[in-house]
Structure 1
Amino acid sequence: MITLWQAALIGLVVVATHLDSQLLGECKLREPVVTGFLVGLILGDVTQGLIIGAQMQLMWMGATAIGPTAGLDIGTGGTIGVAVALTTGSGVESAIMFGVPVSVVMQFVNTLLMALFSGAMAMADKEVDKLNFRGLAMIHWGCTILLVALYWILTFSLMYFGSGIIDTIVNGLPEWVSNGLNGVAALLPALGFALLMKIIMNGSLWPYFILGFVPAAFVGFDMNMVGMAAVAVAIALIIFQIKSGQGQAVQPAVATSVTDIASDDEWED
């Protein structure tokens, strides 16, 4: 059972994830591995909070908003997901079961909130025209207080008043659902990496990805022939890229006629 002050502090963690990149700069407070540590600190199990947060980080590390595509509210989803997993004594499967839907729903809430703030922008423009910086500051802090209050109240209400419902849902899950969620938890990190690589990877970076992946994959194990072959292929690709780059070096132009030579002399004069 979660206590009153624990629910209040978890609400503050969610608020901090939304102040990140707005008032606090780009602190990465919204990342699940950070919120997992903070929630673990609040609930008294830092180790498990970090483990579950890191597992959710692998899942969401490739989730990003590109252009008009709405992203996921990974700050709220990751925080509540870890909190549910720790309070119910379950694993990452419960964190995913609650964290993913919450992240989707709260992204819609954030979109509605930004639409509401667009009205405040018209008011801010009028204050700028009048050079009323005091009024501009009041509009800014008013929007911030509304954001803080909304996310804190929603998170606090869910964690404190809904903890009994959450326990009932988690404990009442049939075995086949738990097994399915475990399978999803194992696959989603691969999906997260695939999304990230889709965004940042191109052909020239593959050898370096292989060189970084192979040592990480064989930590604590003896490297076998597959790993050695992968490293050899990566080194061969890097050498090929270097050789290809040298072969494509631009050669200086050579004058092919008397007219060209004369024109060059004219420019030198």
Structure 2
Amino acid sequence: MNITIVQAILIGCVAALSNLDGNFFGEMKFREPIITGFLVGLILGDVQKGLIIGAALQVIWMGATAIGPTAQLDIGAGGTIGTAVAILTGKGPEVAITFGLPVAVIMQFLNTFLITSYSVLMHRVDGLIDKLEEKKIIFIHIACGLLTGFMYGALTFAALYFGNNTINAIVKGLPSWANNGLNAVAAILPALGFALLLNILLEKNLIPFFIAGFAIAAFTSLNTVAVTCIAVAAAWVIYLLTTNSIAGAQNFAKAGASDEEDEEL
């Protein structure tokens, strides 16, 4: 599938938008792969495939969290380019991962380099603060953010428009053993994403609920929506019990405590 110059420009705008998210727009989550996948699929005329690939990348990267000085993967650019390459080549999430992960690493290093280079302007800003020249300070802030977004968009455009033939040649030239390996990686990485997420969020008192949810999903015919509804209901009941919001729950707790005191006496 060939890409037009208009499509390449629009996908470049999606990559730029993913960078501006968190800087200018607050946490709008435009950089999440499920969002960029939908937008890229819409631009390339295959929304369903864009959503499927974006969801697969979302599961992989949902546990990737920047902790302390460690740099987080640039999931916005990685998801955008990875999804675009997968749709253009007619492949699935395995190709999106192959191209998306290296791009996410490279773009994060580029972003770090740009932010570091902007530190030169901080001396200028310090002087403007002393002079109370607020408009110039705001201009520098906006200009740096827009320059970074433009760099993201321009690099994405160039990679997809001028490198489309090269990307297609690379994908088509992969041997069968490499394709089988990529398929295996695509199947394993979602589990790794969940493992990373659980490593951050899971607490000992939540393990029984995790086991219950896994058992319901694995050994019943209920779909994901039904399991999610059960989880929401369980969480709601637990919240009501812990906050004594259920009628009679507080009296029941007091009665239980009184019985224990009577037994001790």
TM-score by length of 2: 0.81
The runs of 5 or more residues in structure 1 that have no matched partner are: 223-233, 250-269
Alignment partner, residue 261 of structure 2: none
Alignment partner, residue 173 of structure 1: 174
Matching of residue 156 in structure 1 with residue 157 in structure 2 = yes
**Where do residues 117-196 of structure 1 align in structure 2 (5 Å cutoff)?**
117-196=118-197
Distance 2:219 2:72 in 1: 34
Matching of residue 95 in structure 1 with residue 96 in structure 2 = yes
Q: Is the 8 A contact 2:216 2:222 kept in 1?
A: no
Deviations 1:15-59 (A, max 9, x none): 111111110110111111111101000000000110011011111
Q: Calculate the aligned-residue CA RMSD, in Å.
A: 2.1
Deviations 1:117-171 (A, max 9, x none): 2222222222111110111111112102211221111000001000000000001
Aligned residues: 228
Aligned residue identity for 1:211? A
Using the aligned pairs only, state the percent identity: 56
Instruction: Point out the more displaced range, 210-219 or 41-50.
Output: 210-219
Q: Is the 8 A contact 2:23 2:145 kept in 1?
A: no
Distance 2:217 2:32 in 1: 22
Aligned residue identity for 1:151? Y
Aligned residue identity for 1:67? G
TM-score by length of 1: 0.80
Aligned residue identity for 2:28? C
Alignment partner, residue 264 of structure 1: none
Alignment partner, residue 197 of structure 1: 198
Alignment partner, residue 17 of structure 1: 18
Instruction: Point out the more displaced range, 55-64 or 204-213.
Output: 204-213
Distance 1:43 1:158 in 2: 16
Aligned residue identity for 1:68? P
Deviations 1:158-212 (A, max 9, x none): 0100000000000110000000000000000000000001111110111222333
Matching of residue 31 in structure 1 with residue 38 in structure 2 = no
Deviations 1:66-99 (A, max 9, x none): 0001110111001100000000001111101100
Alignment partner, residue 46 of structure 1: 47
Distance 2:136 2:58 in 1: 40
Distance 1:115 1:47 in 2: 39
Aligned residue identity for 2:142? W
- C-alpha change, 1:119 and 1:216, in structure 2 (3 Å) is farther
Q: Secondary structure at the match of 1:28?
A: coil
The runs of 5 or more residues in structure 2 that have no matched partner are: 224-233, 243-252, 258-265
Alignment partner, residue 55 of structure 1: 56
Matching of residue 75 in structure 1 with residue 76 in structure 2 = yes
Runs of 4+ with >4 A deviation: none
Alignment partner, residue 107 of structure 1: 108
Deviation at 1:218, TM superposition (A): 4.8
Aligned residue identity for 2:103? V
